[in-house]
Structure 1
Amino acid sequence: MSTMLKAIHHVAIICSDYPRSKAFYTDVLGLKVIHEVYREARDSWKLDLEVSPGVQIELFSFPSPPPRVSRPEAQGLRHIAFAVDDLDAAVARIEAHGVVCEPIRVDEYTGKRFTFFADPDDLPVELYEG
């Protein structure tokens, strides 16, 4: 039986500081802005960012969002992972912006290299080579 799901369309992230997170996802990670809108009734920004063709991150701001446990082993969504061709180059680019990456590890099952770092709200982000 085949799945009805075709692909991941987007991942939604609610940030605590919209300008800081917008700069992180556009300047540090290099994601392209698709659409940005201020929703006055909600006092909220919504920013659509292209990860790759057909895959987006929706970055939201809301007044006083409640904090959320975000460590990778907490219940719920564990982390977001981005595929990269050259992990060393990606880490160098991110660290050039003052972001600290964990030491590079190797996936024991696939042999692929990966690392983690945190976004401005301490949400775990992974870079996975391959």
Structure 2
Amino acid sequence: MAANAANGYVSLVVVARHSVHCVRETVRCLMKMRRALSTAIAAAALVAGLAFTAEPAQAFGPSYCNASTCSLSISANTGGIYFEMPRLTKVTMICWTDSQWWNGTNRWFKVDTVYGRGYMIATQVSNQTKVGHC
């Protein structure tokens, strides 16, 4: 009977040690989960912060001529037209001004092109970017 009691005591000690081991492992596991969760929360906060501090959206790609031909003028009116650019010619917008009404608008953009610097009527410019007044 004494051997059985001692055997039961040893078994109880083994179970207790195993329980302590399981608790320690559970704590370690919880600590790992906590670190992972903290990292995920920090990353989400960073992404959210970047979303609120990002630059305003602008047109994708360069501005370009959207008509079958686009008029390039030395002044912001039709009297100065000196060249007809082909469709899809890339233009770099410099500034805008309001002048002669033509083709439904009086807004003209000063632009740089492979054909030189000049003015284009706004309705012939696609992917317009934000520029200041001339």
Q: What range describes the TM-score normalised by the shorter chain of this pair? A: under 0.3
TM-score of the superposed pair, with normalisation by structure 2: 0.23
Pick the structure with more helix per residue. 2
TM-score of the superposed pair, with normalisation by structure 1: 0.24
Larger Cα-atom Rg: 2
